[in-house]
Structure 1
Amino acid sequence: MKARMEHVNFHDLRHSCASIMLGLGGDLYTISKILGHSNVQTTQRYAHLQVDAQRAALDKLSVLVQNKK
């Protein structure tokens, strides 16, 4: 049965899959291998989606450093 979503192509689905995996905490290297990219640099186009995760990691580091004072 056809999905009748002519505006959606295979690349869109790959992008969505990568974005979801990244949002669930997957790392770029693993996602790169799943997508079949020959190098992780190709996958880094999704890195902009990690801003919240990066902020959370820095916040944790900040708490750790403040507790050491």
Structure 2
Amino acid sequence: MSDPVWQKSSFSGDDASRDCVEVAGAVDGLALLLRESDSPTTVLRVSPSSLHALLRVVRPVK
């Protein structure tokens, strides 16, 4: 089994010491994985629809 490829927001900048939320696709392709960069061993597994619903609530409407 291969390790997930983690990506961080481009808003996090290039500073390696900056903490940010990272996202990866689950190996099975059915979920997304989320983690905090300063605690990389704690991983949340969420469905794409659940993450979309969360982002609709927390992201300001433009």
TM-score range, shorter-chain basis?
under 0.3
Report the TM-score when normalising by structure 1: 0.23
Report the TM-score when normalising by structure 2: 0.24
Who wins on radius of gyration, i.e. which is larger?
A: 1
